[in-house]
Structure 1
Amino acid sequence: MTDFDSIDALVDGARQQVPLPPADERRRLREGLNVSRAQVAHALGVSTSTVGGWESGRDPSGELREKYAYFLDKAHAKLQAQAQDAAPDAEDTDVPSDGDETQAEVPDGDVGADEVEALPVAQPCVLCGALARHQVAGFPQHLDPAECAAAAGTPAESAAIAPEPEAQPAGREQRQAPPTRPRPADTGPGVKIMPVGRRAQSADAMPDLIGQAVSEALAKHAGDVEKATAALVKRAIPDAMALLDTTRIGGRYEIVAHPWLPDILRKQSARGADQIWEARPKWTRPELPPGEHEVAALDTNGAYLSALKTWLPLGQLNHSTGNHHDRRRAGVHLITPPEWDHDAVLPNPIGSRDEPGPLWVTEPTLRLLLRLSGPKYGLCDPPEIHESWTSGATEGLLEKFRVAMKDARDKAIAEDDEVTLAYVKAMYSKFVSTLGESNYNREIYRTDWMHLIRSQAFVNLWLKAYRAYDQGLMVVRAMGTDELHVIGDWRAVFAEGRGVTEVKVKDLYTVGTDADTDH
């Protein structure tokens, strides 16, 4: 064969690459089928993060490209057939009158059109920080992902917090509440539903990824509990991310998983820390009344699991200055903390810190200080805020994720299932610990979230300490995020058990005698 023959054979055998739809269409097709990235990854034999990359704009090649294109083509055909089956006949379709206003287009899978409003003054997009002219359910957002800097993965310029939207014009009509209709007769327990794109489905249809993983591990290791547990703990991080993907289907907002972060959130050296102060105390009451006292060391259950319910910034953090706090935003703040005059009976809300002066604190710590400075508590002066890095925020961003693990944990406790308990604990604890600069989790890089969740865990512990103090107990020690030592009838204040709203006894000891001076 001559060189020319080889070239002819090469050209004749070359195949054109299978075309793929745009990145946002790929995600829309997957979510339209109500399948997670983890499920697609399993079917194609790749990692969940690889599928996430394809949905962010990267393209597969070779045989993987053909398989992925086949999946997208099948998904498109199925969704199109479903849409045709659900479409009403032409003669039954209501035709809007000439006076009807056209609603703004809404991003698929997020919210209904009635939650989209035009802004009188452009405000920073909650995801990318660039100015947007619409808001979705109260948060400024670009309606077209192509306009959003976050969707393209490019950092937007920092924008100051815009002024509050102006009042609605007097002539604008208010939406009328729908007329009350008679309820159908109850025929049994109600069906819990959840949003999936623009549709709703039974909450029971959510796949039980935790139960499936435990069953598979036990089967693979022939019922050996120790080996199954070790295998599950080892895969806790990717499994937590797969669960997060599943619980985010139908989510109101996108998660910006790899935003640009300011230097204060970056490690100063390879083994050093960033500049954010986490309130994690090692506080001990300096003095007790004379006599012998029995101390109960209480352990709060699932501290980090409960702390997933906290105000988390949705998008890239934007810089602002001034002594002002916007409760619709969250992030980190440079503050001068107030003086704390109650160290004899309660730990300092900012934790154990000897150095005076300003410091960077998290959203939960700032909100706790503001709360304690209010009329209900009156325990301190308000902190002085110097500057902030924040984004529009919501308290429910990880709520479905948290509830899925809590429900699995509650069921495991009821069934004495230690395998699932260890697996769930590894999932939420490792999820939190690897949100920062970690080599073990490349799918989310949110150092700010890591600090906020950890600080929320301490805030929850501090509030338990205050509750004990307020109910007449003596608070002796507060340690980290989950340990509280008290004197008195603590069972009259806290429920005992293994649930996340309960506490259990870690230790019982006495102080006030010569034999126990070490305590």
Structure 2
Amino acid sequence: MSDFDAIDSLLDAVGPQAELPPCHVRRGLRERARLSRAQVARALGVSPSTLSGWENGREPAGEIRTRYAYLLDGLNAKLAATATETTVAPVTEQPLASGTAVTATPSPVSSPSPAQAPSLGPVPGQHEHGDGEGDDVELLSVPEPCVLCGCPAGQRVAGFAQHLTPADCQPTTAEASAAAPAPPAGQPTAPTPKAPLRTARATGRSKGPARHTFQEPSGPAGLIHEAVHNTLAEHQGDADAATAALVKRAIPDAMRLLDETRKGARYDVIAHPWIPDILKKQTARGADQIWEARPKWTRHNLPPGHHQVTALDINGAYLSALKTHLPLGRLEHSTSPTHDRRRSGVHLITPPEWEHEAVLPNPLGQRDEPGPLWVTEPTLRLLLRLSGPNHQLCAPPQIHESYTSGATENLLEKFRIALKDARDTAIEQSDTVTLEYVKAMYSKFVSTMGESHYNRELYRPDWMHLIRSQAFANLWLKALKAHDEGLTVVKAMGTDELHVIGDWRRVFAEGRAVTEVKVKDTYTAGTDTGTHTGEEE
């Protein structure tokens, strides 16, 4: 029957798709229901950035579209019913223990003044103003005092322990009046607090510990720490098993970290933009038309004699490359021959001749075919820099056409810093589990943001090419620095391998930080040692 089930699924996908309201209505329904993007995204099984795209012009498809439509229909029905009850239903009088009665008039729950709780999250009964990114609920294993009534609460909202409904947040009027001592004779009776309006109670909420290892209120640094801590606990402290589990989930966790670091940012990440054909694979297993300028260079002739060669390993190459100019919006076509530094993208250029192959690698990498080619922003900026007055190593490249958008160098900066800080702490504490986890997060994040089955939340092949090219450009600039400081550059490979002859410690700092290098290998080479095989001698 499994074969027929698969066929039925295909037939269902061919049918008419569920109707969705306009984008602004989708966001309005979520905000009126006081639900954060993280809450809704988790229920649908997508990332908050994907949900943000659906609220800003993108359209889901298939089964996830049906589920999203079902959610929106349910929210619309519940909000309509709640509005009718609030408007029509009269507020009845509550009998007091003393035999008197007061009429409770509808009133919103009063929230603490800004001076009392400057960063308090949304209070039950109040509408949230903003995009609702910070009000996700964390279930507490040990109750904490509610910031509103002081009674034990089993949930934390936006970092503060709170009850989720007014009925739970404070005792009823009758209970409060019965518990309060009677005032002395002759003194006026204190006014009874007005009963808050009841809000719709969330159903199906688990009362046990939170299942997710990532908790929004803890911030980017806490996300990584909590994931490692909880995974180690799940595997009874087995470091190898925990590392394997963390590496396996590195891609969705990286996307979750990206969402956390993007909160409050000026620009929304467009996860699935329109992409020109040059950025699409030509065949299923083929490549697109973008040249990343990957270094693959070995010096042919060394100075006479024997030489001690040091193979240096560049730390965190892809992590450092996350700081690059990334396009924000849709890539726009241009045939202008000039470069606009406020924009970023891919460019069709005729590269300049490179006359320094004997001592330095070609900035374009190992390319055999002459003529124009599509390069990325980091490669173009490197060529323009080398052709400028400070270096004058080549002529400027000719730009024929481009696909670019307004850009910023800091789009992934908080994401990069969170990973870098976690990496630094792991190295300091000899925490190999966190170190491997962080390495998997940033390396897989870069490698799967193109056409990948492993990351369907972010489709940015332009970013993937730009980040890779930035890593290659960073290695090339280290080779140039070594050459300018009097070292002999022997080899430059990929993102992190640089072989030099000479006192490299006066040029590069040694260590494991991303700004430092470490020794990968040492060997001898020269006219009397034959061809180098890469093995230590």
Would you call these one fold, judging by a TM-score over 0.5?
yes
**Which of 19, 24, 35 is the matching residue for 2:27?**
24
**Which of 297, 304, 309 is the matching residue for 2:318?**
304
**Residue type of the partner of 2:68?**
P
Contact 2:376 2:466 in 1 (8 A): yes
Q: Give the deviation of 1:404 after TM superposition.
A: 0.5
Cα distance in structure 1, aligned partners of 2:381 and 2:475: 15
Deviates more, 1:350-359 or 1:51-60: 51-60
Q: Give the deviation of 1:286 after TM superposition.
A: 1.5
> Per-residue displacement from partner, 1:76-129 (whole Å, max 9, x unpaired)?
xxxx97999559xxxxxxxxxxxxxxxxxxx967xxxxxxxxxxxxxxxxxxxx
**Which of 50, 55, 68 is the matching residue for 1:60?**
68
Contact 2:220 2:418 in 1 (8 A): no
Contact 1:36 1:246 in 2 (8 A): no
Cα distance in structure 2, aligned partners of 1:207 and 1:439: 28
Go from structure 1 to structure 2 and tell me whether the alpha carbon gap of 1:205 and 1:245 turns closer, same or farther (over 3 Å shift): closer
For the pair 1:371 / 2:412, whether they are aligned, the reply is no
The residue aligned with 1:392 is 406
The residue aligned with 1:48 is 47
The residue aligned with 1:196 is none
Go from structure 1 to structure 2 and tell me whether the alpha carbon gap of 1:26 and 1:350 turns closer, same or farther (over 3 Å shift): farther
Cα distance in structure 1, aligned partners of 2:439 and 2:380: 28
**Which of 247, 261, 283 is the matching residue for 2:297?**
283
**Residue type of the partner of 1:499?**
A
**Which of 230, 234, 255 is the matching residue for 1:220?**
234
SS in 2 for 1:60: helix
CA RMSD of aligned residues (A): 3.4
Q: Give the deviation of 1:26 after TM superposition.
A: 6.1
**Residue type of the partner of 2:47?**
T
Q: Give the deviation of 1:399 after TM superposition.
A: 0.4
**Which of 345, 355, 358 is the matching residue for 2:359?**
345
The residue aligned with 1:467 is 481
SS in 1 for 2:459: coil
Go from structure 1 to structure 2 and tell me whether the alpha carbon gap of 1:322 and 1:220 turns closer, same or farther (over 3 Å shift): same
For the pair 1:272 / 2:286, whether they are aligned, the reply is yes
Q: Give the deviation of 1:244 after TM superposition.
A: 0.4
**Residue type of the partner of 1:259?**
P
Contact 1:510 1:516 in 2 (8 A): no
Go from structure 1 to structure 2 and tell me whether the alpha carbon gap of 1:36 and 1:427 turns closer, same or farther (over 3 Å shift): farther
For the pair 1:357 / 2:360, whether they are aligned, the reply is no
Cα distance in structure 1, aligned partners of 2:436 and 2:424: 12
> Per-residue displacement from partner, 1:477-511 (whole Å, max 9, x unpaired)?
00011100000000111011111000011110000
> Per-residue displacement from partner, 1:400-459 (whole Å, max 9, x unpaired)?
000000000000000000101100111101110111111111111111000000000011
SS in 1 for 2:68: coil
Contact 2:348 2:402 in 1 (8 A): yes
**Residue type of the partner of 2:355?**
D
**Residue type of the partner of 1:304?**
Y
For the pair 1:405 / 2:404, whether they are aligned, the reply is no
SS in 1 for 2:500: strand
Cα distance in structure 2, aligned partners of 1:86 and 1:392: 38
Contact 2:29 2:76 in 1 (8 A): no
Contact 1:54 1:60 in 2 (8 A): no
Q: For residues 193-204 of structure 1, what are the structure 2 equivalents within 5 Å?
A: none
> Per-residue displacement from partner, 1:34-60 (whole Å, max 9, x unpaired)?
x662x6545x37342675566456563
Q: Give the deviation of 1:257 after TM superposition.
A: 1.1
**Residue type of the partner of 1:23?**
R
Go from structure 1 to structure 2 and tell me whether the alpha carbon gap of 1:224 and 1:205 turns closer, same or farther (over 3 Å shift): closer
For the pair 1:507 / 2:510, whether they are aligned, the reply is no
**Residue type of the partner of 1:247?**
T
SS in 2 for 1:316: coil
Which structure 1 segments of 5+ residues have no match? Answer: 1-16, 75-79, 88-106, 110-202
Q: For residues 102-501 of structure 1, what are the structure 2 equivalents within 5 Å?
A: 206=220, 208-501=222-515
Q: Give the deviation of 1:25 after TM superposition.
A: 3.6
Q: Give the deviation of 1:323 after TM superposition.
A: 1.1
Contact 1:236 1:423 in 2 (8 A): yes
Go from structure 1 to structure 2 and tell me whether the alpha carbon gap of 1:82 and 1:379 turns closer, same or farther (over 3 Å shift): farther
Cα distance in structure 2, aligned partners of 1:280 and 1:82: 61
Contact 2:220 2:257 in 1 (8 A): no
SS in 2 for 1:477: strand
Go from structure 1 to structure 2 and tell me whether the alpha carbon gap of 1:235 and 1:64 turns closer, same or farther (over 3 Å shift): farther
Structure index of larger Rg: 2
Go from structure 1 to structure 2 and tell me whether the alpha carbon gap of 1:108 and 1:469 turns closer, same or farther (over 3 Å shift): farther
Cα distance in structure 1, aligned partners of 2:312 and 2:110: 55
> Per-residue displacement from partner, 1:5-39 (whole Å, max 9, x unpaired)?
xxxxxxxxxxxx99998233467689x99x662x6
Cα distance in structure 1, aligned partners of 2:22 and 2:400: 52
Q: Give the deviation of 1:515 after TM superposition.
A: 4.6
SS in 1 for 2:382: helix
Which structure 2 segments of 5+ residues have no match? Answer: 1-19, 60-64, 83-107, 116-128, 132-216
Q: Give the deviation of 1:255 after TM superposition.
A: 1.3
Contact 2:23 2:55 in 1 (8 A): no
Q: Give the deviation of 1:282 after TM superposition.
A: 1.1
Cα distance in structure 1, aligned partners of 2:22 and 2:345: 41
Go from structure 1 to structure 2 and tell me whether the alpha carbon gap of 1:19 and 1:512 turns closer, same or farther (over 3 Å shift): closer
> Normalising to structure 1: TM-score of the pair?
0.68
Go from structure 1 to structure 2 and tell me whether the alpha carbon gap of 1:21 and 1:271 turns closer, same or farther (over 3 Å shift): closer
> Per-residue displacement from partner, 1:249-298 (whole Å, max 9, x unpaired)?
00111111111111100000001110000110210112111000000000
Q: For residues 69-84 of structure 1, what are the structure 2 equivalents within 5 Å?
A: none
Cα distance in structure 1, aligned partners of 2:110 and 2:467: 41
Contact 1:18 1:69 in 2 (8 A): no
**Residue type of the partner of 1:257?**
A
Cα distance in structure 2, aligned partners of 1:68 and 1:308: 41
Go from structure 1 to structure 2 and tell me whether the alpha carbon gap of 1:221 and 1:65 turns closer, same or farther (over 3 Å shift): farther
Contact 1:297 1:506 in 2 (8 A): yes
Contact 1:314 1:393 in 2 (8 A): yes
**Residue type of the partner of 1:496?**
E
**Residue type of the partner of 2:45?**
V
**Residue type of the partner of 2:347?**
H
Cα distance in structure 2, aligned partners of 1:407 and 1:334: 37
Cα distance in structure 2, aligned partners of 1:21 and 1:322: 36
Q: Give the deviation of 1:355 after TM superposition.
A: 1.2
